[in-house]
Amino acid sequence: MNTSRPVSELSALVNQAVAQRMSNELLPQMDSLKSNLEQRLNALEQRLPKNRVSIVVFSGDLDRALAGFIIANGALAMDMEVSMYFTFWGMAAIKKATNSQGKEFRQRLMGLFTPERSEEMGLSQLNMLGIGSKMMKSMMRDRNISSLEELRDLALEMDARFIACTMAMELMGIRQEELVEGIQLGGVATFMESALNSRLTLFI
């Protein structure tokens, strides 16, 4: 009597043994490889820029600050995050008043030569002792174009992040109570954290 197993049965047993061995040896390697790839992908995702615009507002000129707020509101309308970093002369765009009481002489002097509040900002060209800025504001009203203050408030309402440079505030003697509501205080590290994770960074 022939007791040998059929070739098909032997082949199935061999395939089963090979599959079992491959499962025992390769699955741990595959799991390790998968974990490694996931870690690499997570690291790459962290390095990708976020859907954010970072804007440095350095200029104290009305027209340039207007451009900054127009860009900011446009980005917000496109569901982008916006961070605006105000430093030196650009601080005028977020000032609501100037209080010289208790400041040292040089800081008071600085206040005399800079706008007391955003409404007093002049143009970078053709300012003509303030006539140019008044004329531009009149033309904007006639054409139903939002003022700097309206654009600023709109950006804040849409959750834009406004950061005032603490070093510039200290040098120029600007206190937080002189700024509009909703302003955060921060240094260059605060801005760099935002800029390094932004798709677009502008200096105005």
pLDDT (tens digit per residue) in 14-27: 677 767 776 676 67
pTM of model > 0.95: no
Q: Specify whether 62 is located in the same domain as 112.
A: yes
Q: Rounded mean pLDDT of the chain?
A: 88
Q: How far apart are CA 161 and CA 152, in angstroms?
A: 11
pLDDT tens digits along 89-144: 999 999 999 888 888 999 888 888 899 999 999 999 999 989 999 999 999 999 99
Q: Specify whether 33 is located in the same domain as 59.
A: no
pLDDT at 46 (0 to 100): 64
pLDDT at 5 (0 to 100): 59
Instruction: Give the domain extent around 2.
Output: 1-48
Q: Specify whether 73 is located in the same domain as 91.
A: yes
Q: How many CB atoms lie within 10 A of CB 74?
A: 12
Distances (CA, A) of 39 to 27, 29, 30, 125, 196: 18, 15, 14, 53, 21
Q: Specify whether 147 is located in the same domain as 61.
A: yes
Total domain count for the chain? 2
Burial class of residue 68 in the structure, from the number of CB atoms within 10 Å of its CB (0-12 exposed, 13-18 middle, 19+ buried): buried
Average pLDDT over residues 40-54: 73
Q: Specify whether 22 is located in the same domain as 57.
A: no
Q: Specify whether 66 is located in the same domain as 154.
A: yes
pLDDT at 45 (0 to 100): 61
pLDDT at 95 (0 to 100): 97
Q: Specify whether 54 is located in the same domain as 148.
A: yes
Quickly state the pLDDT bin for 7 (edges 50, 70, 90): low
Sheet (strand 81-86) strand order: 183-186, 161-165, 81-86, 50-57, 198-203
Average pLDDT over residues 180-197: 93
